[in-house]
């Protein structure tokens, strides 16, 4: 799980072009949206694509993303439980 | 048409240099446009993390506008009702190609929403508007080449009809290895006459 969280932090920084954020600045429970990393709605769509592309998870209802993308911790837990690759 | 308008200032980004009103502000030989724009962003201490999410056209227009408008702000010359009138030759082709690549393999079909949102050239104006809190008129035109006559006429029309108090206008173009931004601000005050000849002179003198 901790490896997955590390991997997710690296992917988030790279795929969302967070050039001024370092991996160790993202805490597992930091909110990804709002006051945390300040991600926006386009970032949310990118994260949905990332789940599909890298972990084989298709979100049937994009509204599910609200809970899943709360933090790296919630993302990792969801991926662990649902990944097909 | 009323021609009592003036060019308040101008900025050019081309050939790895940034010039404002003819003065060299930054120059750096770097490998790619993205690398150069990142170095320029750091040089001007831009501090706007969304910059890195933009496509190359928006980064180029955003930086050029930032240099110009920040200078006006520092001199208390910035006007809130500043319209934006931009033009280029390549529209958003640079990003269109990138997006096309992401969808051409049906076995590896993962279109990127973050790339897709930049497949219109006018997004560049949106980025400038967000940064400088502009709620103004804006238009983006596509021409074969820099068209001083059209920009002059459209800008004068906006000012004469009181649609704006000043206008940020010019050329922002990116296509593969070629790029150029030349922006200027027109208002009722300034040192240079806003004429077709002056716009053409500034554009072609490469300052």
| Domains in chain A: ranges and CATH | 2-82 (1.10.1200.10)
Residues B69-80: pLDDT tens digits? 999 999 999 999
Residues A40-64: pLDDT tens digits? 999 999 999 999 999 999 998 878 8
What residue has token string 């000012």?
B159
ipTM exceeding cut-off 0.90 for this assembly? no
B113 contacts A46? CB cut-off 8 A: yes
Calculate how close chain B gets to A14, using CA atoms only, in Å. Answer: 11
Residues B92-124: pLDDT tens digits? 999 999 999 989 999 889 999 999 999 999 999
The tokens of B17 are what? 């240099």
Q: Please give the pLDDT value at position B29.
A: 87
- pLDDT over threshold 60, residue A35: yes
A46 contacts B114? CB cut-off 8 A: yes
B155 with B147: CB under 8 angstroms? no
Q: How many CB pairs under 8 A join A and B?
A: 30
- Domains, in order of start, for chain B: 6-204 (3.40.47.10)
Nearest residue on chain A to B112, alpha-carbon basis: A46
- pLDDT over threshold 70, residue B207: no
A84 with A56: CB under 8 angstroms? yes
- pLDDT over threshold 70, residue B1: no
Calculate how close chain A gets to B103, using CA atoms only, in Å. Answer: 13
Residue B181, helix vs strand vs coil: strand
The tokens of A28 are what? 């597992």
Instruction: Report the alpha-carbon distance of residue B6 to residue A77 in Å, rounded.
Output: 60
């Amino acid at each position: 799980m901790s490896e997955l969280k590390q991997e997710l932090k690296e992917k988030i920084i790279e795929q969302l072009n967070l050039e001024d954020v370092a991996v160790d600045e993202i805490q597992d429970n930091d909110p990804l949206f709002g006051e945390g990393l300040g991600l926006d709605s386009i970032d949310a769509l990118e994260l949905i694509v990332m789940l599909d592309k890298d972990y084989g998870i298709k979100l049937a209802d994009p509204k599910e993303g609200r809970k899943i993308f709360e933090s790296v911790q919630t993302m990792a837990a969801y991926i662990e439980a649902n990944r097909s690759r | 048409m009323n021609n009592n308008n003036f060019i308040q200032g101008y900025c050019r980004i081309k050939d790895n240099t940034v010039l404002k009103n003819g003065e060299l502000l930054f120059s750096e030989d770097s490998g790619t446009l993205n690398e150069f724009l990142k170095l320029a962003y750091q040089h001007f201490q831009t501090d706007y993390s969304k910059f890195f999410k933009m496509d190359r056209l928006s980064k180029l227009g955003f930086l050029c506008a930032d240099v110009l408008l920040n200078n006006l702000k520092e001199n208390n010359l910035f006007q809130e009702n500043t319209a934006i009138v931009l033009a280029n030759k390549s529209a958003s082709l640079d990003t269109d190609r990138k997006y096309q690549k992401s969808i051409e393999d049906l076995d590896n079909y993962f279109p990127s929403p973050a790339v897709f949102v930049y497949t219109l050239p006018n997004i560049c104006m949106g980025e400038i508007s967000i940064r400088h809190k502009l709620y103004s008129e804006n238009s983006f035109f596509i021409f074969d080449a820099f068209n001083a006559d059209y920009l002059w006429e459209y800008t004068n029309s906006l000012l004469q009809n009181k649609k704006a108090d000043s206008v940020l206008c010019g050329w922002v173009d990116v296509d593969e290895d070629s790029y150029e931004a030349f922006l200027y601000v027109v208002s009722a005050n300034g040192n240079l006459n806003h004429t077709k000849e002056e716009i053409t002179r500034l554009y072609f003198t490469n300052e």
